[in-house]
Chains A and B, each alone.
Chain A
Amino acid sequence: MITVERSLPSIVPDFGDAKVTGRKLAIICSKGNLDMAYPGLILANAALGEGIETHLFFTFWGFDMILKSRMDHLRFTMLGNTATHLPQGLGGLPGMTAMATHQMKKQIAEVGVPGVPELLSQIVDSGGHLWACRMSADMMHIDESDLYEAVEDIISATDFIEKTDGAQLLFI
């Protein structure tokens, strides 16, 4: 280890510890489409990198993101999505969803962003909290054994609101 005489730089970035400011972010993930899974995950990851306490609540179709059997098989469809700028009829043809999904996964990989399970694991390693919705679990007859291991608990909406007291909230 090198020992040096210390003289501090005259301009130092403000890495203001967010824990001190108590900034919190709550993200409700309610969609199970591939393209709707990423916004919440990318934002959660970005917030954690800034030292912000982050909680994700998975509800309704968002369960696909944390179901062991489905989390790596989310799909993207052109149907109902005018932003592909292709004729809607095409989206209904057999194999079209598989093709669109394949294409989107390729594009996501090309920018160095991992698949859903790996991104969730990175979020957990960065200190993020994952919660599953009690009502959705009951409706779909799902229990802890069906869920990604890092999901902390199945909790009610009220529990989540309590846990995220004072947080900024995103519904996706």
Chain B
Amino acid sequence: MPTATIHDAEVHVDAEGFMTEYDEWDKTLAHDLAAAIGVELTPRHWTAIDFLRKDYVDENETPTLRRVAAGTGISIKQLFELFPVKPAKKMAYIAGLPKPRGCV
């Protein structure tokens, strides 16, 4: 299992770079992960990220785009604006979670 160094912290990631250890993530890391993929985090972004973190604990699974929209009240259209092109994967990446595996 590869690791990546962010600041001084060494975190566990999968082959693509998604973090694999829920507890190694913190909000400072999220800013770095976001910056790495060209996303500047605003409070609106945080609403989504916070939901992902919480829902992952509840469901033991990364929520899909549809679930994030339903759970946060942020429309699918807005999620595409906040996390352009591949919103579901980008949100999961910044939230330090695995890629969602649901279809819809």
Contact = CB atoms under 8 A, between A and B. Distances in A.
Interface of A: 1-2, 4-15, 17-19, 42, 45-46, 49-51, 111-114, 119, 122, 125-127
Interface string B82-95: 00011111100100
Contacts of B37: 12-13, 15
B67 A112 contact: yes
Contacts of A112: 64, 66-67, 102, 104
Interface string B1-37: 0101111000101001110000000011001110111
Report the contact-size class of chain B (Cβ under 8 Å from the partner): 35 or more
B103 interface: yes
B35 A13 contact: no
Contacts of B7: 5, 7
Q: Is the interface of A mostly helix, strand, loop or mixed?
A: loop
Contact of B36 (A9, A17, A46, A126): A9
Contact of B16 (A11, A17, A111): A11
Contacts of B64: 112
Interface of B: 2, 4-7, 11, 13, 16-18, 27-28, 31-33, 35-37, 41-43, 64-67, 75-77, 80, 85-90, 93, 102-104
Nearest to A45: B104
A35 B43 CA distance: 41
Contact of B86 (A6, A8, A50): A50
Given A19-B85, A125-B75, A7 B6 contact: yes
A48 to B, nearest CB: 9
B104 A122 contact: yes
Contact of A13 (B18, B66, B87): B18
Nearest to B76: A125
A19 B27 CA distance: 30
A113 B6 CA distance: 37
B13 A42 contact: no
Given A125-B76, A126-B65, 8 more contacts: A9-B32, A9-B33, A11-B4, A13-B17, A13-B37, A51-B85, A114-B104, A126-B77
Given A4-B28, A4-B31, A126-B80, A9 B6 contact: yes
- Among A4, A15, A122, A126, max chain B CB count under 10 A is at A15
Contact of B27 (A2, A14, A119): A2
Contacts of A17: 85
